[in-house]
Amino acid sequence: MTREFAEQPSDGFVEHLAPALELRCSGRLLAGGHSDFQNWEVWDTAAFGRLYRLDGRSMASERDSFLCHEPLVHIAGLAHPEPRHALILGGGDGASAAELLKHPRMQEIVIAELDPAVVQLTREFLPDLHDGALDSPQVTLNFGDAAAYVRSWQPEEGSFDLIVFDLTDPDTAAAPLFSVDFFRACKRLLNKQGALSLHLGSPLWQREQVEALLGHLREVFALVTPCFPTIPLYGGLWSMAVASDALDPTALPGSTLAPRIEGLLGNLRLIDASQYHALLACPPWLEQFEGF
């Protein structure tokens, strides 16, 4: 991980969210450089605290990481009766692993991360994101191509309860991992009650991408459930989805959900028994569009 990349102005950065739409964030560039795979930057900002960016896109911040990673992990994780084995594609910052470790029966978490620099910058500058998860004996770091890892998996190696896509956006180099073929490859690794969880994008200015991804998922899985958190670092309203052949988060009754939340090994800041179902409610203005 080199430290020679400092092309951004020292007083802040501009995030291009959509044509003619930008997020301007003031702050101080703490470090930046090139890895073998991408440019990276770490910023200290007044709005978000410390955050990191990859190839000019913000990934996670100290202040609003919970708004991203709680729904990404726990919409599926709480719908599952007892998740024990999880695979994270990407997720080298450890934030998804930290959420998965809150499930009391969790035995194994594999992080398939392409870039060791993400783990290194997190350890050095953003330890609150992983909250010790990267050093947990339940967590295994596997560096390399996540797609190759999935495709090389053999049935005798077991199966996963949860697969979490904690990747860069679908319009980046990670695009092949958001295809129908790759979703089928992931399904092969899930057990019968297993579920896949992933980002879709902004339903406001990436609606075509979101609709296309929902369509791809429905070609592979019987149950595809969108959810709609608000993530300020990503520009506001966001969308994710849980895909499974067995788990339907919308059918999870409060009488089951509440004790599962109480049984977690750590507090949630966003999700409680009422907010869980609120995140699953499709906004009325979106229901008119195909796929929602």
CATH code: domain of residue 56:
2.30.140.10
Separation between Cα atoms, residue 102 and residue 96, nearest integer Å: 10
pLDDT band at 290 (very low <50, low <70, confident <90, very high): confident
Structure tokens at 275: 């907010």
Listed range (16-30, 96-110, 134-148, 177-191) with the worst mean pLDDT: 16-30
Confidence at residue 7, expressed as pLDDT on a 0 to 100 scale: 52
Only one residue has tokens 């695009």, namely 175
- Name the 3-class secondary structure at 19: coil
Read off φ and ψ for residue 78, nearest 5 degrees. -80, -25
pLDDT of 6 strictly over 60: no
Q: What domain count does the chain have?
A: 2
- Give me the catalytic one of 93, 115, 161, 166: 166
Is 288 within the bounds of a domain? no
Report, as an integer, the average pLDDT of 2-15.
Answer: 67
Confidence at residue 291, expressed as pLDDT on a 0 to 100 scale: 79
Amino acid letter, residue 108: E
Same domain assignment for residues 44 and 125: no
Same domain assignment for residues 135 and 31: no
Confidence at residue 18, expressed as pLDDT on a 0 to 100 scale: 85
- Name the 3-class secondary structure at 271: coil
Same domain assignment for residues 23 and 95: no
How confident is the prediction for the chain on average, in pLDDT?
A: 94
DSSP 75-98: HHHHHSSS--EEEEEE-TTSHHHH
Is 289 within the bounds of a domain? no
Q: Is 166 a catalytic residue?
A: yes
Is 285 within the bounds of a domain? no
Confidence at residue 9, expressed as pLDDT on a 0 to 100 scale: 55
Report, as an integer, the average pLDDT of 140-154.
Answer: 95
Same domain assignment for residues 52 and 187: no
How distant, in Å, are the alpha carbons of 20, 138, 245, 280 from that of 248? Answer: 38, 27, 9, 11
- Name the 3-class secondary structure at 255: helix
Same domain assignment for residues 37 and 94: no
Same domain assignment for residues 167 and 26: no
Q: Which domain holds residue 133?
A: 65-279
Q: Could you report the per-residue pLDDT of 72-87, keeping only the tens digit for each?
A: 999 999 999 999 999 9
Pick from 257, 172, 187: which is nearest to 220 by CA? 187
- pTM score > 0.85 for this model? yes
Confidence at residue 155, expressed as pLDDT on a 0 to 100 scale: 80
Same domain assignment for residues 206 and 123: yes
Q: Could you report the per-residue pLDDT of 207-263, keeping only the tens digit for each?
A: 999 999 999 999 999 999 999 999 999 999 999 999 999 999 999 999 999 999 999
Same domain assignment for residues 130 and 243: yes
Which CATH number is 201's domain given?
3.40.50.150
Read off φ and ψ for residue 120, nearest 5 degrees. -65, -45
Confidence at residue 289, expressed as pLDDT on a 0 to 100 scale: 80
Longest alpha-carbon distance in the chain: 54
Same domain assignment for residues 56 and 186: no
Is 4 within the bounds of a domain? no
The full length of the chain comes to: 292
Same domain assignment for residues 267 and 134: yes
Q: Could you report the per-residue pLDDT of 112-122, keeping only the tens digit for each?
A: 999 999 999 99
pLDDT of 2 strictly over 60: no
